[in-house]
Chains A and B, each alone.
Chain A
Amino acid sequence: MKSLDGELATETSRRRFLAQAVLGTAGFAAAPALAQQLVDLHLPGGNSDRPVTDAFPGKGRMILQRIHPPLLETPMEVFDKSVFTPNDQFYVRWHWADIPTSINVDSFRLEVSGHVDKPISISLDRLLSLPRIEYAAVNQCSGNSRGLFVPRVPGAQWGNGAMGNAKWLGVSLRSVLDLAGVRPGAAQVRFGGLDQPVVPDGPDYFKSLAIDHARDGEVMIAFGMNGEQLPLLNGFPCRLIVPGWYSTYWVKMLSSIEVLPGPDDKYWMAKAYKIPDTPRADVKPGATGYKTVPINKMVPRSWVTSLGDGQAIAYEPTIPLGGIAMGGDCGVARVAVSADGGRSWYQTQLGPDEGKYSFRRWDARVPLPGPGSVKLMSRCWNTDGVSQPMQPIWNSGGYMRGNIEITTIVAS
C-alpha cells in the first residue's frame, strides 16, 4: 500500500498539470458539468452518459469510459465516414495500469522462447526485415456492447464502439516462430506485452493460441496500422493480430512469445474471458453449472451508422440508409434492412470488398411506414451462412453480443 501510494504521488505531480488542464479535477459521474461534452450511449436502465475527450496522446475525440487505465470508445459516427477506423479514433482498452509510456525502437526486443530449438530475441530492425503480409481486419473487444445486455452485467459498460477496422501491416507469426524453430509436441503459444500489473503478484496479462492457429500464416505481428506506426495506446511498437477472433488475443506491445508443450493454465486463459459452451454463448440469466470455454471466433454484426439513435429527421416516403457490417470469422455475404421494426426487409448494396475480415459498407433506400418513431434494423449474413438473430443472448461476462441492433429515429 505504502509503495503504491508513493508511486501514485509521484505520478500525480508529474501529470497534474495536464489533468487539470484538460479533464478538470472531478470526474464525469460526480460532476458532469466539468466534462467537455457528454454523449448518451443509450444503455438500458440509464447511467449511460459519458464524457467525450481529446486528452489522450495520439487520440482525437473519444468517448471516455475510464482514464486509468484507459478505456476509450469510438463514437459511432466515426464508422459512417469510412470502413477504416482512423488510428486517432481507434478504441483503447488496457487491463493493468502499468503501461510503458516510452518505447525506444533501438532497444525494444521481442523474445521467442519455450518449446523451441533456439530461443531468440528479435530487434525491430530484424522484424521489419522479414517478409511482410497485409490485410484489413476488425478488432473488437470481447465485451463490445456489454452495456446493452439485459439484465445488465458488471464490467466495462461499452456501447457499440469498442471496435475498429484497420489495414494491418506486419509479418506472419509463423515466420517468427520458424526463426526459433518450434519443437515437436508444442501445444500452444503464449503471448505477453510490456504492460504490467500495478500490484505485486497480480496476474500479468498473457493470452494463448493453439499451435496450429498460431502457425496458420494469417496470425500477424503488426507494426503498421492504416499505413502508420501504431499509436502507443494501441500497442506500439507491435501487436498481435488474430483475424476473426476477439481482441482479447490481440496482445498489445507484444514482447514475449512462449511456445508451450501443454495447455496454458494461467489466469487469463484458464479463468478469464470464458464463455458458456452453448449455442451463441447464450444462457438463461442466473444459470449455473454449464461448461465454459475460452472466447474465440467473432460472430456477424451490423449497424446503421448514417443515423444515430434518437435522431430526428424530416419525414420522407423513402430515406437513404447506410451502415457497416462484419462477417465475424469470414466475409459479409449480404445485409438487409428494415424500417418497420422487422416486418419487412430490403436488400442493401454492399460497398467495396476490403477483405473477409474487414468491415463492409452497406447502403440502401428504404420506405418509411409513416411519420413518427421508426425502428431501423440491419441484419448481416456472413459467407458461412450465419446471420444475426433478432433475440439478444445473455451471459454473465457480457461477451459476444451479435443480435440485430435497433436504431430508433423520429421522422416528422
Chain B
Amino acid sequence: MKAPPIGTLAFGAVGVTAIALIIIGPPGARPTKLREPTSETVPQASSVSVAGFTLTSESIDLPFDEQQYPEGANADVINANCTSCHSASMALTQPPLSKDKWREIVIKMRDVYKAPVGEQSIPAIVDYLSTMPGQANSAEPGIERSAQDKS
C-alpha cells in the first residue's frame, strides 16, 4: 500500500481529470454514465509516507441510529432522555434485570456519565426499562423469567 507524495497525487489528479475530459469529449457526444468517475467523488486525501509505510487522511460517515424505544408507557420520556449518548439497543439487548438494578443503572448514567436526566424523569425511565419487552416484568408473553440478578 504505497501512496505517492501529495504533490504527485495533486498532479496526478489534475492529469487524470484532463485525460477524463478528453476521453469524455463534449456534452452530447457521450453516454451519461461515463460522467461518474470525476474528481468530485475522489477528494484528494493527504498522506504521510516514510520508509515504505503510508498513512492517508480519512473521512467517514457513521450510520445514524433512528431506532426509538418501542411504544409503551413512558416511551416518550426514555426517548427524550436516553438516545443521545447511546442507541436504544444498548438497553433493549440487556438480560432481564430487577427494577432495583435498572434504577442503579439509570442513576449511574446521571451521576457518573453526567446524562442530563431530571429527577422527575427517573421513576418513569426505570418503570419503562423494567417492564419493556424481554424484561422479567414485561407484559409481553413468552419471555422466561430468569432467576438471577441479585447483585
Contacts and interface: CB of A to CB of B under 8 A. Distances in A.
A5 B79 CA distance: 12
Given A27-B89, A30-B92, A67 B65 contact: yes
Contacts, number: 207
Contacts of A152: 95-96, 146, 148-149
B85 A198 contact: yes
B18 interface: no
Contacts of A50: 93
B65 A154 contact: no
Interface string A216-245: 000000011001110011001100000000
A146 to B, nearest CB: 10
Contacts of B55: 105, 124, 128, 223, 229, 236-237
B100 interface: no
Nearest to A153: B151
Interface in A3-37: 4-5, 8, 11-12, 14-16, 18-20, 22-23, 25-30
A18 B64 contact: yes
A315 B149 CA distance: 40
Contacts of B133: 29
A57 B61 contact: yes
Contacts of A154: 94-95, 97, 101, 105
Interface string A100-141: 011111100000000000000001110011001000000000
A68 B1 contact: no
A297 to B, nearest CB: 25
A68 B65 contact: yes
Contact of A101 (B60, B101, B147): B60
Interface string B90-127: 10111111000100010000001111100000000000
Given A15-B61, A15-B64, A197-B114, A46 B143 contact: yes
B59 to A, nearest CB: 4
A177 B126 CA distance: 47
A310 interface: no
A101 B59 CA distance: 6
B50 interface: yes
A22 B63 contact: yes
B51 A128 contact: yes
Contact of A106 (B48, B87, B90, B146): B48
Chain B contact patch, size range: 35 or more
Given A46-B143, A151-B150, A229-B55, A27 B65 contact: yes
Q: Is the interface of B mostly helix, strand, loop or mixed?
A: loop
A151 B63 contact: no
B9 interface: no
Interface residues of A, number: 82
B48 A12 contact: no
Given A26-B66, A169-B53, A1 B86 contact: no
B84 interface: yes
Nearest to A146: B95
A101 B93 contact: no
A289 interface: no
Contact of A56 (B46, B63, B70, B151): B63
A102 B58 contact: yes
B13 interface: no
Interface of A: 1, 4-5, 8, 11-12, 14-16, 18-20, 22-23, 25-30, 43, 45-47, 50, 55-58, 64-71, 96-97, 99, 101-106, 123-125, 128-129, 132, 147, 150-154, 156-157, 169, 197-203, 223-224, 227-229, 232-233, 236-237, 267, 271, 285-286, 396
Interface of B: 1, 46-51, 53-70, 84-90, 92-97, 101, 105, 112-116, 133-134, 143-144, 146-151
5 contacts: A19-B64, A57-B62, A97-B85, A101-B59, A198-B85
- Ranked 10 nearest A-B pairs via Cβ: A27-B67, A151-B148, A15-B64, A152-B95, A29-B92, A128-B50, A67-B65, A57-B60, A102-B59, A286-B150
Given A97-B84, A102-B59, A102-B60, 17 more contacts: A4-B84, A28-B89, A30-B92, A46-B143, A50-B93, A56-B63, A58-B60, A66-B93, A101-B62, A105-B47, A105-B48, A125-B50, A128-B49, A129-B50, A152-B149, A232-B58, A233-B60
